[in-house]
Amino acid sequence: MSASAPGVMGLRTDFKLLIGGELVDGAESLDVINPATGAVFARCPAAGKAQLDHAVTTARHASHAWSGKSFEERAAAIKRMAAVLRANQDTLAELLTREQGKPVGQSRDEIGRAASQSEGMAGIAIPVEKLMEDAGRRIELHYRPLGVVGIITPWNAPINLAAGPLVSALYTGNTVVLKPSPYTPLSTLKMGELLRDVFPAGVINIIAGGDELGQWMTEHPGIDKISFTGSVATGKKVMASAAGTLKRVTLELGGNDPAIVLDDVDPQVVAPKLFFAAFVNSGQVCMAIKRIYAHERIYDALCEALAAEARKARVGDGLDPQTQYGPIQNRMQYDKVVGILEDTRRNGARILAGGEVPSRPGYFFPPTIVANVEEHSRLVREEQFGPIVPVLKFRDIEDVIRRANDTRYGLAGSVWSHDPERAAAIAARLEVGTAWVNQHRATSATVPFGGAKESGVGRQYSVLGLKGYMEAQVISVLKQAM
Ligand code: NAD
């Protein structure tokens, strides 16, 4: 972080924090790098501790009126939010690509998806549940807002991963303090500017800042819940810190998703689908396929078909309309993926495609397919979160289920077969929050998403996810005049 200096060196500096309905400068500032060039291109405000306090105070104040509104009134505001996102899709997408690196068409999709998921969630009913009623008694289960929700997001899909928790919190009657990742704060701050007049002052506060700002949020006595999306390691710190004030938490953490490919598939048909689900956003997706287990009968053909996909992938600056795969988002992640590649080479694996890191500015890394990988290697055990994927061989179904489940991660997984029911029986044995058959990465506003094991706590989306932003309250009425 450095002192705020607007307009210097041709940097974009047209960013503000949103606190209490006002667009304000930060106590500090953050430099933001374009991963396609490796150079700083923007400087944005970063909140200090006093600004966090102010955001929490205004959110608390606004929560009295906001929590008193009906679901329908809040849904109407969320629909206006979706319309604003769509109306500004192109400008937001360009900024998102500049800070995140993904192809601009996929940035547009991310914003469109944030809009449609928001509308989808705002259509979910959360009725009062009647638990029993007879002549003498009535017992009901109500759901009340929690108060102020702190939302902390990662850098891989900043708009979509902000919109899910944001809309969940707002629709259920909470107010929000939202902090994007310091690597990708800009599109979220712009979204805040655009939403300033959509919600009453103080209902949404958007403050950029470094990791320490996230920690202050988790400790803050004025915040009732933390909705965190990010790595397992940080998720554990968030949960430990939130324990100090017994905040509620929803944690959406990392994954190491297996895809099990059975012996009866056509490798030519499944390879492009597996490839896209593994490499979209250059592998920087929590629920990307991160390990491919292929039956020995189709192993060689599938490896070759995946390698062919990798060889024809167009890697480049996300602003170039020809680009299919952009750079890795930041230097730290790039170094990690390069380290995993070197470890993979040292262990004698076969690199079937990719593996040559270009010496050019930016954090580019070609889609890389690796065969004959040791099960205990870093590439198999860790969440690589980048464009390098192992293809492992299996013969026996029991053995592959054991290997797929032999991890502390449990976000999602998939099974691929000519016979969907055969695959479904295997999918049900995966220790994951979502097990797909003949698809991967399919989510929707009405279907819960989240991790088993160390991939998370709680769920986002759906009635189940929304109830995580509310407190259950029993109303028990004894029908006797006193
Ligand atoms: P990260 O954990 O490093 O950071 C996430 C956010 O936490 C950032 O805003 C960061 O500033 C903040 N932070 C850092 N230290 C903190 C602390 N001590 N207390 C509070 N906040 C703190 O994660 P990342 O590298 O930005 O994101 C990549 C990770 O996110 C991957 O593991 C990926 O799988 C995961 N992810 C999960 C999902 C999901 O839905 N399950 C979705 C996307 C990404």
- What would the two tokens of residue 386 be? 């980048």
Please tell me the predicted confidence (pLDDT) of residue 9.
67
Q: Does residue 247 surpass a pLDDT of 80?
A: yes
State the average pLDDT over residues 50-75: 98
Which candidate in 99, 252, 309, 383 is catalytic? 252
% residues pLDDT > 90 (the chain): 98
The residues that bridge with 477 in the sheet, in sequence order, are 138
> What is the tens place of the pLDDT at every residue in 78-103?
999 999 999 999 999 999 999 999 99
State the average pLDDT over residues 188-192: 98
Q: How far is the CA of 233 from the centre of ligand 1 (A)?
A: 8
Q: For ligand 1, atom 8, which residue shows the shortest CA distance?
A: 181
Q: How far is the CA of 436 from the centre of ligand 1 (A)?
A: 24
Please tell me the predicted confidence (pLDDT) of residue 10.
86
Q: How far is the CA of 89 from the centre of ligand 1 (A)?
A: 25
Q: Buried b / exposed e across 350-381, counting CB within 10 Å, b at 16+?
A: ebbbbbebeeeebbbbbbbbbbbbbeebbbbb
Q: Is 209 in the pocket of ligand 1 (CB under 6 A)?
A: no
| CA neighbor of 36 nearest in space, from 231, 266, 319 | 319
Alpha helices in 183-330 (DSSP H): 186-195, 211-219, 232-242, 267-279, 299-312
> What is the tens place of the pLDDT at every residue in 140-149?
999 999 999 9
State the average pLDDT over residues 106-113: 98
Nearest-angstrom CA–CA distance, 419 and 126: 37
Torsion angle defined by CA atoms of residues 125, 63, 21 and 229, in that order, rounded to the nearest 10 degrees = -60
CA dihedral (144, 148, 152, 157) positive or negative: positive
**Any idea which of 165-169, 249-253, 347-351 has the lowest mean pLDDT?**
347-351
For a pocket test of ligand 1, which of 100, 189, 231, 287 has the largest count of ligand atoms closer than 8 A to its C-beta?
231
Q: Is 229 in the pocket of ligand 1 (CB under 6 A)?
A: yes
The residues that bridge with 449 in the sheet, in sequence order, are 460
Q: Is 253 in the pocket of ligand 1 (CB under 6 A)?
A: yes
Burial class (CB in 10 A: 0-12, 13-18, 19+), 460: buried
What is 322-348 written as a DSSP string?
T-SB---S-HHHHHHHHHHHHHHHHTT
Q: Is 255 in the pocket of ligand 1 (CB under 6 A)?
A: yes
Q: How far is the CA of 237 from the centre of ligand 1 (A)?
A: 11
State the average pLDDT over residues 251-276: 98
Evaluate if pTM is beyond 0.95. Answer: yes
Q: How confident is the model at residue 4 (pLDDT cuts 50, 70, 90)?
A: very low
Q: Does residue 300 surpass a pLDDT of 50?
A: yes
Q: Is 410 in the pocket of ligand 1 (CB under 6 A)?
A: no
Which candidate in 286, 309, 383, 454 is catalytic? 286
Q: Is 434 in the pocket of ligand 1 (CB under 6 A)?
A: no
252 among known catalytic residues: yes
Nearest-angstrom CA–CA distance, 176 and 182: 18
For a pocket test of ligand 1, which of 155, 186, 188, 234 has the largest count of ligand atoms closer than 8 A to its C-beta?
234
286 among known catalytic residues: yes
State the average pLDDT over residues 183-202: 98
Contacts of 406 (CB under 8 A, 6+ apart): none
Q: Does residue 8 surpass a pLDDT of 60?
A: no
For a pocket test of ligand 1, which of 99, 168, 211 has the largest count of ligand atoms closer than 8 A to its C-beta?
211
Averaged pLDDT score across all residues of the chain: 97
Q: How far is the CA of 311 from the centre of ligand 1 (A)?
A: 31
Q: Is 230 in the pocket of ligand 1 (CB under 6 A)?
A: yes
Q: Does residue 6 surpass a pLDDT of 50?
A: no
